Amino acid sequence: MKFKRILAAVLSCALIATSLMAVTGCNDSNGSGEKKEDGTYTVGICQLVQHPALDAATEGFKKALTEKLGDKVTFDEQNASGDSATCTTIVTQFVSSNVDLIMANATPALQAAVSATPDIPILATSITEYGVALGIDGFNGKTGINVSGTSDLAPLDKQAAMFKELLPDAKKIGIIYCSNEANSKYQVNVVKSELEKAGLTVTEYSFADSNDIAQVVTKACEEVDAFYIPTDNQCAKNAELINSIAEPAKKPIIAGEEGICKGCGIAALSISYSTIGYNTGLMAYEILVNGKDPAEMEIQYDDAPVYEYVAARCEAFGITVPESYQAIAE
């Protein structure tokens, strides 16, 4: 009987220890609960598509973590070439490899990562509105799950106001965006409402994939005076194509970010993708090294967006640009 009482006590202690490990494991371990003894980390990066804005965010992220961790951090960087299904394949591979953290660059990458794992910490960047991206009603700045990150949202009301400031004669505005990007639709709804409040007529021109862009833009050029393009990844990837149609048709474009503006626009109110990427890297350090819980980390924003313009296009359109705007290097 004495032996049985001792055995029961040992088993009880073991159960308590196991429970404590399960509760505290997220502070000093990777996604599987396995403690990191050597102080090294592997971070999986899934970027939706290659274009200047997303590239800058990824480079900023890597720069911040490398400054903090040096050669103790290894990046498995993958690009999905604009395909959401490929994002799923990439993050599934990260989960199988048991990476310590996943960085998802753009909304489809984030959605794929969230579907793939409820355990491995996920940080995202280049997300306009997390509530929309993750389907969270009443979003309050924290996701409550294994996700946090940074947003690329610039003040949409101020972007809409740029039309009256720079293009006072434009009465009919077209908005071009990819219908498969939820965050693009969110921006479209807000900007459309603001433009209509200002007395402008607004028409949406959406496309499902890049093969339809030329046809959609050509049709739009016949019907409107100017365009707005939100921070849309497919538009960013195809900005030069859009410009090849809109510029000869003498249709000026106000864009949601610098990269699109450089490719086809006259002006933008843009956040810095390098900055939000860098800040995402600092958040990653807090999670990996200091045990922060992404569920309790506030989404961060770039609070210093910049008015920018493309000098050559503005000159060609005869637009007088306010002194507060900064010229984009060509």
- Please indicate, yes or no, whether residues 111 and 160 belong to a single structural domain of this protein: no
58 in a structural domain: yes
Q: What mean pLDDT do residues 204-214 have?
A: 94
- Please indicate, yes or no, whether residues 293 and 247 belong to a single structural domain of this protein: no
- Please indicate, yes or no, whether residues 131 and 183 belong to a single structural domain of this protein: no
In the sheet that 306-309 helps form, which strands lie side by side, from edge to edge? 201-207, 172-178, 226-229, 253-255, 267-270, 306-309, 326-327
**256 in Cβ contact with 231 (< 8 Å):** yes
144 in a structural domain: yes
**47 in Cβ contact with 102 (< 8 Å):** no
- Please indicate, yes or no, whether residues 191 and 262 belong to a single structural domain of this protein: yes
- Please indicate, yes or no, whether residues 205 and 138 belong to a single structural domain of this protein: no
24 in a structural domain: no
**Segment 36-82, tens digit of pLDDT:** 567 899 999 999 999 999 999 999 999 999 999 999 999 999 999 99
178 in a structural domain: yes
pTM of the model: 0.84
Number of domains observed in the structure of the chain: 2
164 in a structural domain: yes
1 in a structural domain: no
- Please indicate, yes or no, whether residues 136 and 244 belong to a single structural domain of this protein: no
27 in a structural domain: no
**Segment 121-139, tens digit of pLDDT:** 999 999 999 999 999 999 9
- Please indicate, yes or no, whether residues 85 and 166 belong to a single structural domain of this protein: no
- Better-scored residue on pLDDT, 157 or 19: 157
Closest by CA to 57, choosing from 178, 167, 190, 149, is: 149
Residue 256, Cβ neighbours under 10 Å: how many?
A: 30
CATH number of the domain encompassing residue 233: 3.40.50.2300
- Please indicate, yes or no, whether residues 168 and 190 belong to a single structural domain of this protein: yes
284 in a structural domain: yes
Mean pLDDT of the chain: 90
**207 in Cβ contact with 213 (< 8 Å):** yes
For 140, the domain range is: 38-152+273-298
- Please indicate, yes or no, whether residues 198 and 318 belong to a single structural domain of this protein: yes
- Please indicate, yes or no, whether residues 162 and 52 belong to a single structural domain of this protein: no
DSSP assignment string, 238-262:
THHHHHHHHTTTT--EEESSHHHHH
What percentage of the chain carries pLDDT values higher than 90? 86
- Please indicate, yes or no, whether residues 139 and 176 belong to a single structural domain of this protein: no
- Please indicate, yes or no, whether residues 178 and 244 belong to a single structural domain of this protein: yes
